[in-house]
With several copies, the nearest count.
Chain A
């Protein structure tokens, strides 16, 4: 909300204030199958962001009058814990959470074979436990992995990343300091990586079409990096399942810095 007044250089000698390159993601760790009651689940850490996602369904949609006889409904709920932000968040879900839930649910609808599950609902719940810019894309990445973990048939995973501008530079995966730049532009985007179909795209800030072209390119690249981490997390679980290990899964797939 309050943007810094003094002139800051956000990229210096190709390095950002936190040491990353302009096209570099923050460290990303994904683990699936972390909650026993849910049909699918995922724990994700992305920089300081910490997210847990759970999937229930397809299950009968109730009350009956909301059922769609042609396809499953998707109910996506993005929520932030009261302590996950600098000032305590009001526990009641706000308009921001409602909007993010809507566009994120729509982003996943394209990926899931909804027509196979008429009259049902697929419920996706994501809770943000800690935050530092980019939680909506982090949530979507976790939700997508949880859907796969639940065995729900999908055209492709949804991979997502934030891209944008700070101090005049187009950069990948903005952190909170960068999002607070006076000229900050924030562009959350999500794609189906195999076809580059864009399923979520928002922006706010002042941006020219030329800047957007550059940002898009960077975003597509970032999504694909994320995609690899998602796949690796799922692979790990299924390999272990094949080995029929009975121990709990403690290893996690990790996207190291500067990959």
Chain B
């Protein structure tokens, strides 16, 4: 199809430029696009945020819902992370059940939040063995110009940081429009992705760059020097040395982004 050919041609140009040490939009290899975070974009959500990373546009919304605890963790609440690649966002996205790209993104964002222990699951207990909070973190893509992983991670964290805990009435029913406080986050885990193109490492790849990519490596880091999750994707490979560079880049970039939350 014609559109595929156009994409291939753009990918060729990306590679040409990268080999000359350049990116098509003149960014430095490790430079993120302009980030704009808009908070509380939905009153019905307990917390929400819209993230623009260049023209990449994603939304995250939080709903806290009283639910049954897992049998083996009777005093712990839980999180549930989902993403939908809305067909609004790209001519390549089709409506339908979740596919592997969505599943991977949701699970990597999930692990960054879960493993960083930024949420104390025991504090999400309402009554031991009976009722706990389930924190639903749902993300939607509005416009895909690349790097959905990082954009979604920023949106999810931004939305969590704004989240108000609903007030509960009798029989664990939510009292609409009333809140009992804010959700406490002990850490601010952020996922930063490094993309390998023509043997070079770049950050915050745009859509055209992703078409030219060999592989990507995403690391969720915390402000106190930990990694909470990482994930290699794509059909290419990384040398051990490249992985170390990716890790360094992720720490550095997350630090910059964290200032803008």
Contacts and interface: CB of A to CB of B under 8 A. Distances in A.
Direct A–B touching in the complex (beta carbon < 8 Å)?
yes
Contacts of B106: 95
Interface stretch (B23-31, B54-62, B124-132): B54-62
Nearest to B83: A91
A48 interface: yes
Majority SS of interface residues in chain A? mixed
B235 A106 contact: yes
B73 A1 contact: yes
B240 A130 contact: no
A50 B239 contact: no
A53 to B, nearest CB: 8
A79 B88 CA distance: 11
B140 interface: yes
A253 B226 CA distance: 40
A255 interface: no
B65 A88 contact: yes
B233 interface: yes
A81 B136 contact: no
Interface in B63-85: 63, 65, 70, 72-73, 82, 84
A125 interface: yes
Contact of A130 (B42, B62, B103, B138): B42
Given A35-B89, A209-B227, A130 B63 contact: no
Interface string A212-224: 1100100010000
Contacts of B111: 204
Of A37, A48, A106, A196, which is in contact with the most chain B CB atoms at under 10 Å from its CB?
A37
A196 B239 contact: yes
A197 B128 CA distance: 48
Contact of A204 (B43, B82, B115, B244): B115
A201 B42 contact: no
Contact of B227 (A2, A84, A85, A212): A212
A35 B44 contact: no
B174 to A, nearest CB: 8
Interface stretch (A13-21, A24-32, A97-105, A232-240): A97-105
Contacts of A123: 87
B247 interface: yes
Interface residues of A, number: 61
A88 B63 contact: yes
A82 B61 contact: yes
A110 B240 contact: no
Nearest to B40: A130
A94 to B, nearest CB: 9
A56 B3 CA distance: 13
A129 B42 contact: yes
B32 interface: no
A152 interface: no
Nearest to B112: A204
Interface of B: 41-46, 48, 55, 57, 59, 61-63, 65, 70, 72-73, 82, 84, 86-91, 95, 98, 100-101, 103-104, 106-107, 111, 114-117, 136, 138, 140, 142-145, 174, 176, 207, 217, 222, 225-240, 243-244, 247-248, 251
20 contacts: A35-B88, A41-B88, A79-B86, A82-B61, A83-B46, A83-B63, A83-B138, A86-B44, A99-B107, A106-B234, A129-B59, A130-B41, A197-B238, A199-B232, A201-B217, A201-B243, A203-B231, A204-B115, A206-B226, A208-B225
